[in-house]
Each structure stands twice: as structure tokens, then as C-alpha cells.
Structure 1
Amino acid sequence: MKNQRIVLALFLIYFVFAILLNSVGTVILQVINNYDVSKSSASVLEAFKDLPIAVVSFLVASFLPRIGYRKAILAALALVTCASIAMPLVPAFLTTKLLFMCVGIAFALVKVSVYSTLGLVATDRKHHAGLMNTLEGVFMVGVLSAYWIFAHFIDSNDPKSQSWLQVYWVLAALCGVTFALVLATPFDERTAALPEGRSRWDDFTAMLKMFFKPLICVFVITAFLYVLIEQSVGTWLPTFNNEILMLPAAMSVEVTSIFAACLAIGRLSAGVIMRRVNWYPVMNACVIGMAAVVLVALPLTQNVVHDPNISWASAPLATFLFPLIGLFMAPIYPGINSVMLSSLPTNQHSAMTGLLVIFSALGGTTGSFITGYVFGNFSGHFAFYLTLVPIGLVLVTMYLFKRQVDRAA
């Protein structure tokens, strides 16, 4: 019962941060309209989110077990609650940057803590894989919810309206409820204790040394490339829908929820599939499926004519086809994470997750920046076609990762 309560708390934490983290695409669309900033300028919001994730993970992940996972989660929730309250009270592009910086700092603490706590409550590798996929599935349900929650507050008839900022009162309340649940839930972290007699510098250098192991090096590069692809699509899809497919602002955000729904369905179902099938063939099929969706859907986005009376029934076919790439993306990230973490002792999960978070954050920032730059200076079509490059590279790195996993077994 105690472990079930901990798992429930972890799921709710991830749900809350899914909404905050993946609102960046929607917020980019809104700040472009509200604060008259360029696409290139708006794209820095991804960096304000991801770079603090990388920096904080780099600095604290190795010795977070000494601080305590529960304490770290509580501090993170308190920080984002305050930042959410500031958004409607002090509306400005600078406030938006500070919000995502706080979200990035907090998520660095949360992701390392949550992933490490999963290792404490999982009974075996299969249980770990199931929990990991379910956790990431809940995360995507949060992402899906975010599109509809934000769209509810967006006024499509007035692009300059700041009514969308009222959503942050809802998010602040949700953070407060999650804080109360975690505060009332005891965590048994004894098995994650680091060896006695080691300094924090020793913990830090031990994490850095992990990167130079071939298995871990190939793994983090694969994670980097995957997140680059996911953030490229997820962050810029609302703007793509609005400017290329000519959909209204609110509908552009709502339609992006199809992408999130596909990710959620894919990850929740992957937990069942991967308990019966070897992970490597599943991952390869998913990567090939991603490339196929890009090649089939993007040609259908050419020469779309603006329709002032557009609805879900009259939207272009590509509106519904391209987001299906999420079904194929879905199992990859939790799948490779579970394979990696379940290969290590629990007292190394924090440091390993730290490396994962660092490279995931760098991948997200790189993907969003490149896509934003190409979108603004060339075209949205070319920006999304470019995802085929990292998709091809993932096939290569995943093969190398499989070889290293087999050698380490």
C-alpha cells in the first residue's frame, strides 16, 4: 500500500510537470502574438527551460540522494507554484522567460528524484519497464491535457488578448495539491544511500566517469537525438498548424493534442507489448514508422488555402495524419531508459538519470532552436523535413546501444 501511494504521488508529479514543460509550444505562439516578438526570439523559451535542466542536473544529480528525493520534489513544487502565480500578476515576456527557467530548475530535481524513486519501488526489470512506460504515459496524458486547458483560455478572435494567462491560476492550484500529497507521503530512500566516506566531489566525478563507459555514452547520444526530434515536432507543431495549415490559434493548439494523445497511447500500450517482445525490434520498427509518417504527411501540407470558416471536419488531411508520428515515437524514450537503468544498481540511478536529463535537455534546446531558425528563415515544410536526419542517426546509435547492452549482459 505504501509503495502504491508513492507511485501515485510520482504519477501526479509527472502529470503536473508535463503540463508546465510542454506548454512551451503554445506559449511561443501566444507571446509572438501578445508581446510582438519574432520567432527566433520566442524560440529562446525552450532554452530557458532546457538549459537550467541541464545545468542543475549536472551540478546536483550525483549527490541528490544525500539531500533526499522527497525534499528535492517539495522544493521543486514550491518553486513552480510561485512562478505560476507571477505569470498573470506580472504579464511580460521577461516573466515568461523566468517561468520556464524556474520550471527547468524544478524539473531537473523532479526527474532525477522520480526516476531514482522508481528504482526503489520496482521489484524486478519487467516491473521497472512497466512502471517506466506507465509513468511516461501519464506524462503524455498531462501533455494532452495541457493543449486543451490552454486552448480553453485562448481567445482566437483577439490575438492580443491576455486571457490565456489565467490558466496559471489553475496550474498553481494543481501544484499546491501535489505538494500536499508528497508532503503527506513518506519515502523510504535507504537503499539509494551513497557509500559512506565519499565527498560530494567524489560523487560528482563518479558521475562524469560514467559517461566515458561505451554503453552509457551511446545511450545518452541516442536519448539526445530522440529528444531533439520530439521537441522539434512538439514545440513547433502549434505554429506549423497556424501558419502552414492555416488553422485558427486555439484550434492549432487543440489539434496538437492529437500528437500528445498518440504519445500517451503509444507509451501506455508499450508497457504491455515490451513485456512480451524484445525491445530492440520494437524500437527499430518505431523509428522506421516515424520516417514513413514524415514522408507521407508533409507533401499533403503544400499549397493549403486559407478558409475563414475552417472546422475539424474541413481541416486538411495532414492536420490529422502528421501527429500520428507520436504513436511511433512513444515507446522509444521510456524503452531505452528502462533498459539502461535496470542494468545498474539503485545507488547509481541518480547519477545516471542526471546524465540522461542533461543530454535530454540539450537535445530539446538544440531541436527547438534549429527548427525555429529554419522555420523563420526558410519554411515550416523544410524545418520538419529536417527531422529525417536525426531519425536516421537514431537507427545507427540504437544498433550500437544494442551491441553494448549485449556485451554488458
Structure 2
Amino acid sequence: MKNQRILFALFLIYFVFAILLNSVGTVILQVIGNYGVSKSSASVLEGFKDLPIAIVSFLVASFLPRLGYKKSMLIGLAIVTLACTAMPLLPSFLTTKLLFLCVGVAFALVKVSVYSTLGLVATDRKQHASLMNLLEGFFMLGVLSAYWVFGYFIDSSDAKSSSWLQVYWVLALLCALTFALLLSTPFDEDRAALPPARGIARDFAAMLQLFFKPLVCVFVITAFLYVLIEQSVGTWLPTFNNEILKLPAAMSVQVTSIFAACLAIGRLSAGVLMRRLNWYPVMNACVVGMAAMVLLALPLTHDVVADPHIGWSTAPLATFLFPLIGLFMAPIYPAINSVMLSSLPKHQHSAMTGLLVIFSALGGTTGSLITGYVFGSFSGHFAFYLTLLPISIVLIMLYFFKNAVNHNEGEFDGSAIISSQH
């Protein structure tokens, strides 16, 4: 019962941050119309979110076990509660930047703590893999909810309407309730304790040393590229729907929920497939499927004519086809994460997650900035076609990842972990 309450708290925290983190694409669309911000300027919001995640993770991940995972999560929730409250009270592009900066700082504390706490709750590698996929699937349910929650408050008839800012009162309340639940939930963090004689400097050095393990190095590069692709698509899909497919603003946001739903369905259901098939060909098939969706759907987005009466039944086919790329993306991220974390001692989970968070954040920022620049300077079509390049590199990196796992199977027992993915 105690572990169930801890897991519920962790899943709820991840649900809250899923809404906040993945609202960037929606907020970009709104600030462009609401505050008259250019696309290239709006794209920096991804950086305001992701760079603090990377910096804070780099600085604090190695010694979070000394601070305590529960305290770290409480601090993160308190920060975002205050930031959400500021959005409707002080509406401006500057406040929006500060919101995502606060979300980034808070998520660095939260993700490292949540991932590390999973290692404390899980009794074996199979359960760890199951919980990891359930957590990431629940995260995508939060992403899915975000599009509809924000879409409800958006006024499609007035691009300059500030009605969308009222959503942050709802989010502030949700953050506060999650804070209260976590505060009242008992945690046992003894197994994550670091050696008492080791100082903060040595904790930090130990985290950096992890990066030079071949398997870890290949892992973080693959994670970087994966998040680059996911954020390129997820962040700019609402704007793509609005400007290229000519959908109304609210519908542009809501229809993006198909992408999030595909990621959620893929992550929650992939376990059945992964228990029966070898992970490597499945991962290859997923990457090839991603490329196929790009090549199949994007040609259908050319020469779309604006229709003032457009609705769900009359939207272009590409509106529903392209987001299906999420089904193929879904299994990759949880699989490689569980391989690493369930293979390390409990006290190293924080440091390893720190490296993961750093490279994931850098990947998200890089993907959003590149896509935003190309979208504004060339076209939305070319921006999304460009994802074929990192998709191809991921396919190559998976080959090296497989070889690294096989080479280190005595130490990491990678095949056993991956066979139990999802």
C-alpha cells in the first residue's frame, strides 16, 4: 500500500509536468498571435525550458540523494505553482519566458528524483522496466490532456485574446494539490544514500565518469537524437496545422493530441510486443516506420486551400496521418532508459538520470530551434522533411547501442532487461 501511494504521487507529478512541458508548441502559437512575436523569437521558449533542465541537472543530479528525492520534488512543485500563478496576473512574453525557465529548473529536480525513486520502489529489473514504461505512458497521457485543456481556453476567433491564460489557474491548483499529496506521502530513501565520506566534488566527478563508459556514451547520444526528433514534431505541429493545413487555432492544438495519444498508446501497449520479439529488430522497425510516415504524410500537405467552415470531418487526410508517427516513436525512449538505470547500483541512478536529462534537454532545444528557424526561413514542409536526417542517424546509433550492450552484457545484462521492456 505504501509503494502504491508513492507510485501514485510519482505518476501525478509526471502528469502535471507533462502538461507544463509540452505546452510549448501551444504557447508558441498563442504568443505569436497574442503578443506579435516572430516565429524565430517564439522558438526560444523551448530553450528557456530545456537549457535550465540541462544546467540544473548537471549541477545538482549527482548529490540529490543527499538533499533527498522527496524534498527535491516538493521544491520543484512549489516553483511551478508560483510560476503558473504569475502567468494570468502578469501577462507578457517575458513572463512566458520566466514560466518556462521555472518549469525547466523544477523538472530537472523532479525527473532525476522520480526516476531514482522508481529504482527504490522496483523489486527487480522486470518490474523496473514495467514501471518505467507505465510512467512514460502516463506522461504522454498528460501531454494528451494538455492539448485539450489549453484548447478549451483558446479563442479561435480572436488571435489577440488573452483567454488562454486562464488555463494557468487550473494548472496552479493541480500543482498545489500534487504538492499536498506528496508532502503527506512517506518515503524511505535509505538505499539511495551516498557514501558519507564522499564529498559533493567526488559525487560530481563520479557522474562525469559515467559518461565515458561506451554503453553510456552511446545511450546519451541516442537519447539526444530521439528527443530532438520528438520535440521538433511535437513543438511545431500546432503551428504546422494552423499555417500549412489551415486549421483554426483551437483545432490546431486539439488535433495535435493525436500525436500525444499515439505516443501514450505505443508506450502503454508496447510491453506485449517486446516480450515476444527481440528488441533490436523492433527498434529498427520503429525508426523505419517514423521515416515512412514523414515520406507518406508530408506530400499530402501541399496546396491545402483555406476553408472557413473546416471541421474534424473535413480536415485534410494529413491532419490525422502524420501524427501517427508517434506510434513508431513510442517504444524507443523507455527501452533505452530502462536498460541503463536498472543496470546500475541504486545510488548511481540519480547521476545517470542527470546525464539523461541533460542530453534530452539539449536535444529538445536543438530540435525546436532548428525547426523554428527552418519553418520561418523556408517552409513548414522542409522543416519536417529535415527530421529524416536525425531519424537516419538514430538508426545507425541503435546498431552501436546493440553492439555496446552485447559487449557489456556481463556487466549490464542488457538482453535480459530489454526483453522485458514495456
Tell me the TM-score range normalised by the shorter chain.
Answer: over 0.9
Cα-to-partner distance string for 1:276-302 (whole Å, 9 max, x where unaligned): 333222211111110010000000001
Q: CA deviation at 1:347?
A: 1.0
Aligned to 2:312: 312
Is the contact made by 1:73 and 1:113 (CA closer than 8 Å) also made in structure 2?
Answer: yes
Counterpart of 2:215 in 1: which secondary structure?
Answer: helix
Q: How far apart, CA to CA, are the structure 2 residues paired with 1:327 and 1:366?
A: 23
Is the contact made by 1:228 and 1:366 (CA closer than 8 Å) also made in structure 2?
Answer: yes
Q: CA deviation at 1:273?
A: 2.7
Cα-to-partner distance string for 1:304-357 (whole Å, 9 max, x where unaligned): 011111010000000000000000001110111011111111111100000000
Is the contact made by 1:53 and 1:105 (CA closer than 8 Å) also made in structure 2?
Answer: yes
- Counterpart code for 1:147: Y
Aligned to 1:41: 41
Task: Answer with 91-100 or 193-202: which moved more.
Answer: 193-202
Cα-to-partner distance string for 1:259-288 (whole Å, 9 max, x where unaligned): 000000000002333233332222111111
Alignment of 1:345-364 (within 5 A): 345-364=345-364
Aligned to 1:114: 114
Aligned to 2:98: 98
Cα-to-partner distance string for 1:34-74 (whole Å, 9 max, x where unaligned): 10010000000000000000000000000000000000000
Q: CA deviation at 1:398?
A: 1.0
Q: How far apart, CA to CA, are the structure 1 residues paired with 2:78 and 2:354?
A: 21
Task: Answer with 369-378 or 182-191: which moved more.
Answer: 182-191
Cα-to-partner distance string for 1:364-395 (whole Å, 9 max, x where unaligned): 00000000000000000000000000000001
Q: CA deviation at 1:408?
A: 1.2
Cα-to-partner distance string for 1:85-120 (whole Å, 9 max, x where unaligned): 000000000000000000000000000000001111
Aligned to 1:244: 244
Q: How far apart, CA to CA, are the structure 2 residues paired with 1:103 and 1:280?
A: 35
- Counterpart code for 2:215: L
Counterpart of 1:276 in 2: which secondary structure?
Answer: coil
Cα-to-partner distance string for 1:7-50 (whole Å, 9 max, x where unaligned): 11110000000000000000000000010010000000000000
Cα-to-partner distance string for 1:212-254 (whole Å, 9 max, x where unaligned): 1111000000000000000000000000000000000000001
Alignment of 1:237-276 (within 5 A): 237-276=237-276
Tell me, yes or no, if structure 1 residue 85 matches structure 2 residue 91: no
Aligned to 1:408: 408
Aligned to 1:290: 290
Q: How far apart, CA to CA, are the structure 2 residues paired with 1:28 and 1:67?
A: 35
Identity of aligned residues (%): 80
Q: How far apart, CA to CA, are the structure 2 residues paired with 1:68 and 1:61?
A: 11
Matched residues, number: 409
- Counterpart code for 1:209: Q
Alignment of 1:206-217 (within 5 A): 206-217=206-217
TM-score normalised by structure 1 residue count: 0.99
Q: CA deviation at 1:406?
A: 1.3
Aligned to 1:161: 161
Q: How far apart, CA to CA, are the structure 1 residues paired with 2:280 and 2:57?
A: 28
Task: Answer with 335-344 or 364-373: which moved more.
Answer: 335-344
Q: How far apart, CA to CA, are the structure 2 residues paired with 1:276 and 1:180?
A: 41
Cα-to-partner distance string for 1:138-192 (whole Å, 9 max, x where unaligned): 0000000000000000000111000000000000000011001100111111111
Counterpart of 1:198 in 2: which secondary structure?
Answer: coil
- Counterpart code for 2:262: C
Across the aligned residues of Structure 1 and Structure 2, the Cα RMSD in angstroms comes to 0.7
Alignment of 1:118-197 (within 5 A): 118-197=118-197
Is the contact made by 1:130 and 1:272 (CA closer than 8 Å) also made in structure 2?
Answer: no
Q: How far apart, CA to CA, are the structure 2 residues paired with 1:319 and 1:156?
A: 18
Aligned to 1:56: 56
Q: How far apart, CA to CA, are the structure 1 residues paired with 2:114 and 2:280?
A: 25
In structure 2, stretches of 5+ residues that fail to align are 410-422
Aligned to 2:220: 220
Q: How far apart, CA to CA, are the structure 1 residues paired with 2:216 and 2:184?
A: 36
